[in-house]
Chains A and B, each alone.
Chain A
Amino acid sequence: MVTLLQTVADGFSLDPAVVVQALLVLVGAYVAGRTVSGALTRIADRFLAQRFRVTLLIPIVKFVIYGGAVYVTATLLFKLTTAQLVAFSGVLGVAVGLGLKDLFADIVGGLVLVTEQPYQIGDMVTIGNHYGEVVDIGIRSTKLYTLDDTMVTVPNYLFFNEAIANANDGNAEMLVTVTFQVDPGSDANRARDIVEEALLSSQYVYVSDAAPVEVFVSDELHYRMVEGRAYVNDLRNQLRFESDVSERVLAAFAAADIESPQVPASVADGAEG
């Protein structure tokens, strides 16, 4: 092991000027990565629903910048022969085995995320127990902005272990489901029509052949369930879409004497007993 380290050290340059250069390259890459990422994000926002065409590029550009910086730094600090390169690989393998395993897995996970793209910046995804909009894909982690205003940092290695659900897959439109329960004695067909018209007249709806509005009625034990499915025009409007539809459906239900399900007497008596 000592021989191995000695071999690597022989190819390692500790000239202070070189070290400063290497540090400047790393700092410059960090600043460039942040600047380019911020600029692309601002450009993307100008494209409104078409922003995904730009956000697609952000992690790729960041990885190119950071990868280039690592390469330049390595060439500045190391003048490795083939033997030293083999030795360095051995040292790196030991380091990974001893404590950098998770960090290494995160970085590899980040690389796979960039190439395979199970999600991209702007997508609404579920990773583990977290559901939110992807706002950043970094070398080590992905940041999600959840619907309850919380920023969640998810390590990239989870990509290998967890199922990832992507609700929109690079599109602004996204399927949203709203459900209503009505009394079995109410007119279910009328309720269905109301839910359909509320969905397709919403200011947040998006309809096409590939994104239709659908309404299903199912008969449950003590009520009928009316389930509407439609695409919101921009996933950032998901809650506003649900609220808009719910408000107008409930108002129309009231006007059409469509009632909410009542607790059956037998169930209510049982609860009291």
Chain B
Amino acid sequence: MDVTPEQLRDTGFAVQFDAVAETVSVADRDRGPNLAVVSDPYAGRDLLVDHAVTRLDDPTRVALEGVASGEELPELASRDAGDAVVVENCHYLFSREVGGFGCLEGFLEAIALSAPTVVTSWNAAAWSYLDAVRDVSQSFDSVVHLPPIDAVDLARLVEAHHDGPLPEFVQTSADGRVKTVSFDRATVSPLGGREVTVPMPNLNTEYLLSRDATETVGDVEAVVFQKLVQVAGGNPGVATACWDESVRDGQVAPGFVAEYDPQFSLDDDAAFVLELVVSNDRIRRQTLDQIRPTVQVDKALQTLAESGLVAVDGEWARVAPTHWRAAKEHLEGRQLLW
């Protein structure tokens, strides 16, 4: 996603940018605040951290690149309240194994009541897991989540992201209409007092009311961005990646926006490897081997790569941006992500 923090701010994230700025500006004489920036992969948390850095006075900045041993972390005890420390990718502070939580627990202990301002960034899936098993949110004064983007804001984001004038919006004969009905989940008690979650139809009234049969270009444009938001799950980075894949020879059409079905067949080991990849943004194959020595990691990665879910680049495996939503929905369906 080739956009600046300011451009991302102007596409519906002003509240989050302001929350970051406000949090890092309230350091008092004794103690600076602890801030956690949480988002899905590709959603732009690095831009939010960049924004925090511009508000801090010469912070020490560390970006973790793999499962941390603790030596990479800056020392906190000797710093004053005016100091600031930025630690990115804190989901690398733990690994999903027996003995894999020590570094995280040490870090959370160190930032509790520490003097300097501490700005951290986290993968949203890892954050949800750690909040369930370690109450990680209790250690932060402020937690800023990046919410899903809507179609109108995505159109502005794509204008900022796209190199040169936007392509021509065309309607093709291929399928590609936006859904006029989507389904939300609601909890009801139909029988015996037991609560069940059922799909509730949700009409896309905005699209239905705005649709004008005599208008072609404007209608198609709205459909393209609506569909991009839908296939990207509102993730800005994923949406722009899908946009890049949808532009063909200077044209873009709803039918060019590829949809990926989350209902694919994965065995337990492949699903767990996918979960580790999704909840780490990217992860080393060696780390996967270390976390689960009994799992045939390369075989699982091959399965995931063949289905397009994971891109393997040398020693690194990362979730393919265009398949992120399908991967997330599949893992949520299996209750591997919460």
CA distance A194 to B98 in the complex (A): 6
CA distance A209 to B335 in the complex (A): 15
- The contact size tier of chain B is 20 to 34
Cβ A201 vs Cβ B96 within 8 A: yes
Q: Does B65 contact A (CB under 8 A)?
A: no
Cβ A234 vs Cβ B192 within 8 A: no
Q: Which residues of B contact A234 (CB under 8 A)?
A: 334-335
CA distance A237 to B334 in the complex (A): 11
Q: Which residues of B contact A233 (CB under 8 A)?
A: 334-336
Nearest 5 Cβ contacts at the A-B interface? A203-B272, A233-B335, A48-B333, A207-B132, A49-B335
Interface residues of A (CB under 8 A from B): 46-50, 52-53, 56, 115-117, 169-170, 172-173, 194, 197-198, 200-201, 203-204, 206-209, 213, 233-234, 237, 240, 247-249, 251-252
Please tell me which one of the listed residues A46, A206, A252 contacts residue B335 in the complex, with CB atoms under 8 A apart: A206
| 1/0 contact string of B270-302 vs chain A (CB within 8 Å) | 011001000000000000000010100000000
Q: 23 A-B pairs, CB-CB below 8 angstroms?
A: A47-B333, A50-B333, A52-B196, A53-B196, A56-B196, A169-B194, A170-B196, A173-B335, A197-B99, A201-B96, A201-B100, A203-B96, A203-B275, A203-B336, A204-B268, A206-B335, A207-B129, A207-B132, A208-B338, A234-B334, A234-B335, A248-B98, A249-B98
Q: Does B263 contact A (CB under 8 A)?
A: yes
Cβ A117 vs Cβ B191 within 8 A: yes
Q: How far is the CB of B103 from chain A (nearest CB, A)?
A: 13
Cβ A207 vs Cβ B133 within 8 A: yes
Cβ A203 vs Cβ B197 within 8 A: no
Q: Nearest chain-B residue to A45 (Cβ)?
A: B263
Interface residues of B (CB under 8 A from A): 96-101, 129, 132-133, 191-192, 194, 196-199, 263, 268-269, 271-272, 275, 292, 294, 333-336, 338
CA distance A208 to B272 in the complex (A): 19
Q: Which residues of A contact B199 (CB under 8 A)?
A: 53
Please tell me which one of the listed residues A53, A206, A240 contacts residue B268 in the complex, with CB atoms under 8 A apart: A240
State the main secondary structure of chain B at its contact with A: loop
CA distance A204 to B295 in the complex (A): 14
Q: Which residues of B contact A207 (CB under 8 A)?
A: 129, 132-133, 338
CA distance A218 to B132 in the complex (A): 26
CA distance A46 to B272 in the complex (A): 18
Number of A-B contacts (CB under 8 A): 72
Q: Which residues of A contact B191 (CB under 8 A)?
A: 115, 117
Q: How far is the CB of A54 from chain B (nearest CB, A)?
A: 10
Q: Which residues of A contact B197 (CB under 8 A)?
A: 50, 53
Q: How far is the CB of A62 from chain B (nearest CB, A)?
A: 15
CA distance A50 to B183 in the complex (A): 14
Additional A-B contacts beyond A49-B334, A198-B98, A206-B335 (19; CB < 8 A): A49-B333, A49-B335, A53-B196, A53-B198, A53-B199, A197-B100, A201-B96, A203-B272, A203-B275, A204-B268, A207-B129, A207-B133, A207-B338, A208-B338, A213-B133, A233-B335, A233-B336, A234-B334, A252-B98
CA distance A252 to B100 in the complex (A): 12
Q: How far is the CB of A29 from chain B (nearest CB, A)?
A: 23
Cβ B98 vs Cβ A197 within 8 A: yes
Q: Which residues of B contact A49 (CB under 8 A)?
A: 333-335
Contact flag A237-B194 (CB < 8 Å), given A203-B275, A206-B335: no
Q: Nearest chain-B residue to A117 (Cβ)?
A: B192
Q: How far is the CB of B124 from chain A (nearest CB, A)?
A: 16
Contact flag A252-B99 (CB < 8 Å), given A48-B334, A117-B191, A208-B132: yes
CA distance A251 to B294 in the complex (A): 12
CA distance A249 to B294 in the complex (A): 14
Q: Which residues of A contact B196 (CB under 8 A)?
A: 52-53, 56, 170
Q: Nearest chain-B residue to A118 (Cβ)?
A: B192
Contact flag A172-B335 (CB < 8 Å), given A197-B99, A198-B98, A213-B133: yes
CA distance A207 to B336 in the complex (A): 10
Q: Which residues of A contact B192 (CB under 8 A)?
A: 115-117
Q: Which residues of A contact B198 (CB under 8 A)?
A: 53
CA distance A47 to B101 in the complex (A): 32
Q: Nearest chain-A residue to B94 (Cβ)?
A: A201
CA distance A50 to B199 in the complex (A): 11
CA distance A194 to B335 in the complex (A): 23
Q: How far is the CB of A267 from chain B (nearest CB, A)?
A: 32
Q: Nearest chain-B residue to A203 (Cβ)?
A: B272
Q: Which residues of B contact A213 (CB under 8 A)?
A: 133
Q: How far is the CB of A63 from chain B (nearest CB, A)?
A: 12
Q: How far is the CB of B135 from chain A (nearest CB, A)?
A: 10
